[in-house]
Structure 1
């Protein structure tokens, strides 16, 4: 009965989404009906997820989805991740997260006492209901995880071995929180385009944009870290089309967040923010299409029926067919000419924070367009029958570096510029401490690189130099904001500082890995050794091991580096129950400034003295990449929370005099 209950709950959620859409998009919206329908939709989707989880717990192999991704010997932790480890379950999770975002939207977007804002919030729920109806209908009609398998399978095939990892338990939910979070600015923008923009919309939307960016950042970082230690190639980014599908919405959300800040403070960039809100959601839908359509082969992609891809492509086309005409016709309702008290001349001055934001937004959008072109062009060439074309890391490295280095340079003065219009002499006085540090750094950094790595990479030296300037400028700005008393720094300022610090660390890590990373394919037998980056890696012995649902061939290594105690590294080649796919478990000696990485290839010969093909790598400062992205995500979360806390404080301040008056009257 578990499958039937889950199916009925999914049907309930679909009907509730339709009612929510109709209640919110009426000429006179019906807030109570929309809220009630949203509540039932949330109950239905969360209940359907719980029913699917119970089916995995009970090993109910009469459900086709459980039989495809479950196994009796699979650890319970991975039985949980199997709920969203396949196409059908992941789409059900997508819909449930959309319902959660919708609840937050209805709770936060309507300002108390502001009828226009409350009406806009209900219309936003109407648009979100339309999105939820489309996605729930897609799950119900084409990707239902509750389809029965008759007769029931005696055993499941097991979760994809690549997904049987603790990091992959959290990676999809975090990623989907970011993906689905793009729907909220999209829905609010469509409601504003159709019925007008209420006052303060950008301020109310900014926490949601920041939260979506934070979750997407953390999800990307976790996925990149998993690919690093699990796939055996030791890289942090492969420019895989599915990886790019998460990068493109991230670039758009980062741009949108900065424009919303300017829009909130000075009333600029309203129309640009509207188009970015639409574009971010369309790119999120494009990511679903790339992963589930079967148009590409990727370790990150779900094996899927191409007919499902056609349905997703139709949903993208429908979204564009509604959004683009509404955008062109309704932009005059958004009040893009407001300047928040500044003159138009001052707001248009390129020497201002608005000017820096506009230039940075342009660079990020060109980077997004470059990634989009490199991702879709090979697919278009293949679809037109013009042959097979591969666009890989050389294209993206050649295109992205000339765009992201100027963006890094632009961030240094951006935090020091004033809103509206700035003056050159005043800006120079504020930038003087940064210049005083960057001057000596321009000489010291190449010397340090030459001393540490025996050669100078001028690309790495330039990136480190710019990152140093960004760090100093950020600290200087935060010091001014808190008046030198760091414990009094507000959360919004701390969030900005953390995010910019994360950008600096990320840039340093990428530059050092690309410039000084070493990768070698070697063959070693027990007793033999190989030297890399001044360390000796000795192959000590091979053997076998077993786990709860796998068997493994193991290799034991001793890594001996100067001025360090020798460490033992254990690498494995696993074969999981129910799967013929071998999996590599890499051995990594990690540190804050470098990793030594060993992955097993193919075994040559047999017996205890058989040789192994090995991939041995030296990755300097690679941890800084993930630390940087994690700081970006933490900074965005802190900024989102600060807006919420600020609103609570403001409400309390306004309510306190009223309470005092009531007490005196009583």
Structure 2
């Protein structure tokens, strides 16, 4: 059955959201201009306003030049009519966006694989939380998520911004929504032009030439392609919504800024925009760090940040947004600060659109693991970007004259000077990253003009970016300390005495750390000193503030968190240490991946045979075998305890499944499995005797092939980060060599592979696993002891006579790679004949890192969030108090 109704309903909601966004844009625009409604016959013109706010720059305030042709009450009535229409249009737009989202999720959740989006991104095997992730795996779903957050924020702003700002600001909001809605419109004009890509396309519409639809137009796949295995992680359930909420929040200060310029009020927009800028910087920062933690848990490059082009494209707007935030704080007293705040507030939103273009236009090609393929939306994205570039630049240029100039240059002893310098350094750091990241864009531009470019991204991208960013953040860390002292007037009358004590403490602490031999690289020494200085100075300020009014402590707390983050990054990245060194002298692999860079991987991986302990750094490590996940059983289950049903996402319990003394399934039960995942139990024994086990994962996925994911053991001072570099394909059956036979008597010795085997005894038994013995049946079990360098192992194959039929039950040792079966018993000679097969022993090649003090990074992140939250609440309260005093 093909479920077309829900798709048609969803597509209707898309069209409705686009149309209502346009209506809201026009109505808010006319309300902001003060024009008449359709029910009135009087034309109202907007007054020509010069800068009408109070000037704090020491210059003269321009006078108001009115050219009104209608009474104020009539003009207000006209504005209210258009505003009412605009509000209803925007609310209906929001409901339509929710309708689109519900329709798409309904399709995914109910596995309507006749729809291209559901078939491309989901499958029957996915648990509910990953079905949610399918919603935003595709481009259309992520645009819809962005639309949703913008609609929610717009509804909030309509109720909270005040009538003074609502119309001009929401006109910008609604215009952005119209552009975003067009991205999922999916309307085709003629044979060539397509506006957007619809998430409600049927497979027959998306792939009309596929042979299967020629043979059967009603064909519906039984299953979908499934979710990218890299996204099957709980962070991918919450990271994209958080990141796109950060995207949406960049629009709020941009809209306020444009509204302020539009109204010839280049200063007044700062106060309402400031709390939104704070919350936006906080949420976007959280989203970025969530992505870093996801990479740390899921990808196997050994860290949380790899300077991937798409990572950079999000990092840059955040830096600029933080820079804009700092210039907003000085805008009232500094014309230079105000002008910079205008520029950076515009830039942070435009950079978000630019980052979207980089990630979704396909321009990055294979340069990024995060980039999407081009769905034909690159032209639309470019129009979207250029439209707002032109709008913002034109308006800023036209209204620039309304920003008065400073009469005096800012002194080095003022807080305005130091905050401006800090914002400048943040922008320089952002420029360095985006300039290199945009190399593929430069190449495309030159190709468009018929030129051939030889520019290429750096081979060692982490090294390239890090060598610059370290120095930028050395300066930023120093500036946070000095700036806080300036802000709280600790440095006055051109005397710097207040910084002497923090400076001495910084040198003492840094000297102690450096003297211990923990840091030897001079560049890292500089970053340590700067970070400790930021920690000490901001800590000193915080102690003073808390004694007075804790509500003022947001800035100091955020800077302390930043200093801790820098210390965590310094040690966890700069002093990450490979502990899986190959001391055996053996070549683990001759493959290209292992022999590159002077056999680096052969030197930095250890080969572990099943149940065979090896020494690794201070640990004794033992590979304990493969594990699988059963959906209703906590932890991991030995793979040999479950017979996995291929392609059915279920398995059969081969023995009772117990965890922590609780019986979850009995032998023979059918189990719901997590597909594709095979975990490898690696046991670590510390010198103290304490044991912990890590479970790095291998996923075998049709879309991605073999995907490797790490596991880590977290402790206060370090993480042990482990991943499987290579292992036998867990989806392949063991390939047994040709059968060999051995005829031996009890106590005889024979050789299996490189092992010595001894037949200790053959005894009668009344129990054989998997066989029910009756009173007239008989069975014997042999006891074959196999000696290896790690001890001995006993295999007990059984010989069965049941209902006058002969049966045999073999015993297998994955650890030894041996399967042995008792084939014949000769009572005359006393000889027993065994059939033996050999196969590759179970093994893994493993890489492990020690990452010192990485938890300081995560703790610092939480402290930064706390600081932003305190500052947001404070600034929002200030705004609401001022708003409530305004008489509209």
Of the three residues 120, 142, 154, the one matched with 2:165 is 120
Residues 303 and 469 of structure 1, relative CA distance in 2, 3 Å threshold: closer
2:707 equivalent to 1:583: yes
- Structure 1 residue runs of 5 or longer lacking an equivalent are 111-117, 339-343, 656-666
Partner of 1:138: 183
Partner of 1:592: 716
Which residues of 2 match residues 119-198 of structure 1 at below 5 A? 119-141=164-186, 142-150=196-204, 151=218, 152-197=220-265
Partner Cα distance (1:587, 1:421) in 2:
47
Larger Rg: 2
The DSSP-based 3-state class of the residue aligned with 1:182 is helix
* Contact 2:257 2:266 (C-alpha < 8 Å) held by counterparts: no
Residues 444 and 336 of structure 1, relative CA distance in 2, 3 Å threshold: farther
Residues 422 and 544 of structure 1, relative CA distance in 2, 3 Å threshold: closer
Greater shift in the superposed pair: 190-199 or 229-238: 190-199
Partner of 1:355: 417
Partner Cα distance (1:318, 1:650) in 2:
33
Of the three residues 677, 698, 711, the one matched with 1:573 is 698
Residues 530 and 352 of structure 1, relative CA distance in 2, 3 Å threshold: farther
Of the three residues 872, 876, 883, the one matched with 1:644 is 876
The DSSP-based 3-state class of the residue aligned with 2:485 is coil
- Structure 2 residue runs of 5 or longer lacking an equivalent are 35-78, 187-195, 205-217, 581-603, 631-672, 735-813, 816-840
Per residue, is there more helix in 1 or in 2? 1
Of the three residues 588, 595, 601, the one matched with 2:725 is 601
Partner Cα distance (1:237, 1:131) in 2:
31
Q: Deviations over 1:4-43 (max 9, x none)?
A: 2222122111111111110121221532222211111111
Per residue, is there more strand in 1 or in 2? 2
* Contact 1:523 1:611 (C-alpha < 8 Å) held by counterparts: no
The DSSP-based 3-state class of the residue aligned with 1:417 is helix
2:29 equivalent to 1:25: yes
Partner of 2:374: 305
Of the three residues 829, 845, 857, the one matched with 1:613 is 845
Partner Cα distance (1:21, 1:81) in 2:
32
1:293 shift after superposition: 1.0
Partner Cα distance (2:689, 2:323) in 1:
44
* Contact 2:357 2:382 (C-alpha < 8 Å) held by counterparts: yes
TM-score, normalised to structure 1, is 0.88
Residues 625 and 378 of structure 1, relative CA distance in 2, 3 Å threshold: farther
1:88 shift after superposition: 0.8
Partner of 1:364: 426
The DSSP-based 3-state class of the residue aligned with 1:554 is strand
Of the three residues 471, 477, 480, the one matched with 1:408 is 477
Partner Cα distance (1:15, 1:378) in 2:
35
Which residues of 2 match residues 155-554 of structure 1 at below 5 A? 155-197=223-265, 200-264=268-332, 269-296=337-364, 297=366, 300-305=369-374, 307-333=376-402, 335-337=403-405, 344-345=407-408, 348-381=410-443, 384=447, 385-387=452-454, 389-391=456-458, 392-418=461-487, 423=492, 426-428=495-497, 430-448=498-516, 450=517, 453=518, 456-482=520-546, 484=547, 488-490=549-551, 493-519=552-578, 521-526=604-609, 527-532=612-617, 535-547=618-630, 548-554=673-679
* Contact 1:354 1:419 (C-alpha < 8 Å) held by counterparts: no
The DSSP-based 3-state class of the residue aligned with 1:559 is strand
Partner Cα distance (1:105, 1:319) in 2:
21
2:866 equivalent to 1:634: yes
Greater shift in the superposed pair: 413-422 or 223-232: 413-422
The DSSP-based 3-state class of the residue aligned with 1:462 is helix
Greater shift in the superposed pair: 196-205 or 312-321: 196-205
Q: Deviations over 1:98-155 (max 9, x none)?
A: 1122223333332xxxxxxx34321110111111111111221322112223343321
* Contact 2:623 2:681 (C-alpha < 8 Å) held by counterparts: yes
* Contact 2:10 2:100 (C-alpha < 8 Å) held by counterparts: yes
The DSSP-based 3-state class of the residue aligned with 1:504 is helix
Partner of 2:19: 15
Residues 465 and 294 of structure 1, relative CA distance in 2, 3 Å threshold: same
The DSSP-based 3-state class of the residue aligned with 1:359 is helix
Q: Deviations over 1:325-365 (max 9, x none)?
A: 222121223x3547xxxxx43x6112211111111111111
2:138 equivalent to 1:86: yes
Greater shift in the superposed pair: 319-328 or 297-306: 297-306
TM-score, normalised to structure 2, is 0.67
Partner of 2:190: none
* Contact 2:267 2:338 (C-alpha < 8 Å) held by counterparts: no
* Contact 1:251 1:364 (C-alpha < 8 Å) held by counterparts: yes
Partner Cα distance (1:259, 1:104) in 2:
26
* Contact 2:261 2:396 (C-alpha < 8 Å) held by counterparts: yes
Q: Deviations over 1:27-64 (max 9, x none)?
A: 21532222211111111112211221122221112221
Count of matched residue positions in the alignment of Structure 1 and Structure 2: 627
The DSSP-based 3-state class of the residue aligned with 2:683 is strand
Partner Cα distance (1:410, 1:530) in 2:
47
Partner of 1:556: 681
1:510 shift after superposition: 1.4
1:472 shift after superposition: 2.1
The DSSP-based 3-state class of the residue aligned with 1:555 is strand
With CA pairs under 8 Å and 6+ residues apart, which has the higher RCO, 1 or 2?
1
Residues 330 and 360 of structure 1, relative CA distance in 2, 3 Å threshold: same
Residues 422 and 200 of structure 1, relative CA distance in 2, 3 Å threshold: farther
1:419 shift after superposition: 7.8
Residues 420 and 522 of structure 1, relative CA distance in 2, 3 Å threshold: closer
1:254 shift after superposition: 0.5
1:537 shift after superposition: 4.5
Residues 554 and 301 of structure 1, relative CA distance in 2, 3 Å threshold: closer
1:299 shift after superposition: 5.9
* Contact 2:16 2:93 (C-alpha < 8 Å) held by counterparts: yes
Partner Cα distance (1:434, 1:291) in 2:
44
